[in-house]
Structure 1
Amino acid sequence: MEIVISLAIGVLFGSGIWLVLRPRSFQVLTGLMLMSYAVNLFIFIMGRLWVNKPPLTLGSGVPDPAMFSDPLPQALVLTAIVIGFATTALYLVVMIGSRGLTGTDHVDGEETE
């Protein structure tokens, strides 16, 4: 299972880099989103997925860490998803404004012949 997740993260990140190097604004934005998805998946998987283990709850006595799942990676990924959504919306607004001002959606502002 680890090799499948590793390949998925690698394909997502590699596709994101390939799209970031493209000349059009929408492709650059899509590449940034793919790279952020790859990083989110990496952070989430590094926290290990546990089945049938409760989240960390406070009770009497000292809790045994082996009996609970780690909530930190899930919280980090959730925060990253929200921040990624907000920056994607900002990038879209800037991209639409740039297209309206320059008349092209190329990153450098010049159409190739």
Structure 2
Amino acid sequence: MIDDHGDFVLGRDADYFVGELSEVCLAQSVFLVNRSMEESAEFIVDVARLGAVSIHRADSLFDTDIHATNTISDPERVTPTPNETARLVDGELRIILPPVSWTAVTLR
């Protein structure tokens, strides 16, 4: 949700963190975490008060093997990848977060 001042308000049961509006680049970033070990989660936030925005980027850091790590022999095992589920629908940002993932969405 966005309050009367245009700032995001965190949901009580959600595992996500939200950035601030940057006056320099006129972008809003939303940082999300899904801590579930097994379930994907749909995140929905009302962004209508931001006006006419579009999704500039949506990247998630995760692996289908939740125990995967980057190593010296495989330093690119787990890397951010575009999250193609991000969409704007009727003034809402909607995105599916994979299990054990960290996601950044930038709106402009």
Question: Taking structure 2 as the reference length, what is the TM-score of the superposition?
Answer: 0.26
Larger helix percent:
1
TM-score w.r.t. length of structure 1: 0.25
CA radius of gyration, larger in: 1
Structure with greater strand share of residues: 2
